[in-house]
Structure 1
Amino acid sequence: MLKAKKIITLIFGIILFIGNAKAQEGELTFGADLMSRYVWRGTQFSTGPVIQPGVEYSKGGFAIGAWGSYSQNGSADGAEADLYMSYTFADDLFTATVTDYFFPTDEIAMNNSYFDFKKASTGHILEGTLAFNGSEGFPISIMAAMNFWGADQDANGDQQYSLYIELGHSFTYKEIGIDVFAGFTPIDADEEKGESGFYGETAGFVNMGFTASKEISITEKFSLPLSASVIANPMAENLFLVLGVSF
């Protein structure tokens, strides 16, 4: 009965939000990416192609949206369903975001029930991020993200507060957009307890590389954004090459 009430509350919340958004001026966008595989912050979440749909409503500096990733090999490999809310402020210099991650896979989630919000068994992970988006005088972006509730727990059920920090720089080379990034986790896990953080067992770099992107013209009025990424995880000693197209 309690689960049914949560579902009904969520449905009514969505209906009210859509009605309110319709009554105000804002922008509703949606699309999807087709990726050769899903690699996120240096960790591979799928072994094959995934489709990653997303929808977002934004007004001023506020944005609320949903994003997902689903494998094309007929399994739960790489499955993810996220909700997020963000606010960009100070002349677009900073963005604060809260994300609800949900991974419906036995390997990552503790429980595959979406409406289970008990901390000990939930499959949700709540993350807060604060990003400096860079400026003309300092064209380096800095983002810090911390898991503060949910399935990122140790064997004793204690919250691990896994932290991820990423530096980035974007520029254009011969009409090709280049995004360079370097991400690391600064927190060591407790080796005596045999714990492992969300990003690795020790402090170090977990996500380094670059993404090149360009719009490929199909016709005079239609083009496809294409991207290619080279991603290295020094801590795990892995290297990934990822190709993507956006619709």
Structure 2
Amino acid sequence: MKKLFTLLTLLFVSFSALAQTDSLQNQAADSTNKGEVIISASIYNRYIWRGVNFADAPSIQALFAYSKGGFEIGTYGATTLNGDKRGYGNTIEVYATYKYKNFSITIDDYFFYESIDSLNNYFEYGKNTTHFVEGRLRYDHDKFYLMTGYVLYTREIDDTKGLYLEAGYYLNDYIKVVAGGVTSSSFLNFQDTGGITNIGIYGNRTLNITPSFSLDLQTALIASPNYKNVADITGVARNPIHFLIGITF
């Protein structure tokens, strides 16, 4: 596992170095490009990720990132609004992404907070770590995208053999359909066995409040065919279907 983690990290660095050639050419054409700081916050009726309903409670989520050229680094966090620490609804991620033409590669470090504070040792990356480091490869087209993710590093006792696969198709500018699943059990995806974890239709609309301020409204209907095989953990819901509504500002 450590060898695979090292190999994928080197692949990420090599991929970034290759793409840097184009990036440097673009920067030479526009030396004033100082990058972009991205800040957003969202409120959802539930925290649903890859077909799993975490904490079965409303969630507030936030993104803070910096993007320049094809490179982006950032952090993403989620917190339950009812104060319940069970069900892993409180999470934080730190990620780095490099995009080259239609392809992107991401290294993402997930940390799911335990309900008992003394178990939340964020800086532990040894044999007792509760981090999941995932590598993702994605291809984006005007009408669809393809994505795969695999856990590169976590505790040896965690079963993370499953490969996550996802595809999305854009019906128009406002609606897309998405399907995803794991090839076998995966602790990161909270799946005891492989299967289709999520099939959904997603919609979004931008509501312009003022010329300089707008809200992004999102809704989704998501089925979870593999719901019976979601890990049996207090607070993690085993629901066959979910309705999601949220607002980003």
Give the TM-score, by structure 2 length: 0.75
Number of equivalenced pairs: 205
Quote how far apart the aligned CAs of 1:220 are: 5.6
Equivalent residue letter for 2:243: L
Question: Residue in 2 aligned with 1:163?
Answer: 163
Of the candidates 176, 192, 198, which is equivalent to residue 207 of structure 1? 198
Matched, 1:51 2:41: no
Equivalent residue letter for 1:68: G
1:224/1:196 Cα in 2 relative to 1: closer, same or farther (>3 Å)?
Answer: closer
Equivalent residue letter for 2:95: Y
1:133/1:242 Cα in 2 relative to 1: closer, same or farther (>3 Å)?
Answer: same
- Report the secondary structure of 1:167's partner residue: strand
- Report the secondary structure of 1:122's partner residue: coil
Give the TM-score, by structure 1 length: 0.75
Equivalent residue letter for 1:79: N
Matched, 1:146 2:150: yes
Q: How does 1:1-247 map to 2 (within 5 A)?
A: 25-77=34-86, 78-89=89-100, 91=101, 93-106=102-115, 111-119=119-127, 121-135=128-142, 139-151=143-155, 157=157, 160-172=160-172, 177-187=174-184, 189=185, 198-219=189-210, 221-236=212-227, 238-247=240-249
- Report the secondary structure of 2:171's partner residue: strand
1:100/1:148 Cα in 2 relative to 1: closer, same or farther (>3 Å)?
Answer: same
Quote how far apart the aligned CAs of 1:221 are: 5.0
Measure, in 1, the Cα distance between the counterparts of 2:187 and 2:38: 38
Structure 1: which 5+ runs fail to align?
A: 1-22, 190-194
Quote how far apart the aligned CAs of 1:171 are: 3.1
CA RMSD after TM alignment: 2.5
Equivalent residue letter for 1:82: E
Measure, in 1, the Cα distance between the counterparts of 2:141 and 2:193: 29
Question: Which deviates more from structure 2 when the two are superposed, residues 203-212 or residues 79-88?
Answer: 203-212
Conserved? CA contact 1:36–1:242, under 8 Å: yes
Question: Residue in 2 aligned with 1:18?
Answer: none
1:87/1:163 Cα in 2 relative to 1: closer, same or farther (>3 Å)?
Answer: same
Measure, in 1, the Cα distance between the counterparts of 2:92 and 2:33: 27
Identity fraction in percent: 32
1:60/1:242 Cα in 2 relative to 1: closer, same or farther (>3 Å)?
Answer: same
1:52/1:162 Cα in 2 relative to 1: closer, same or farther (>3 Å)?
Answer: same
Give CA deviations for 1:62-108 in whole Å, capped at 9, x if unaligned: 0000000001112224100110000000x2x111000000011249x
Give CA deviations for 1:163-205 in whole Å, capped at 9, x if unaligned: 1100101132xxx611210001122x4xxxxx97844233221
Which structure is higher in RCO with an 8 Å CA cutoff and minimum separation 6? 2
Measure, in 2, the Cα distance between the counterparts of 1:132 and 1:24: 25
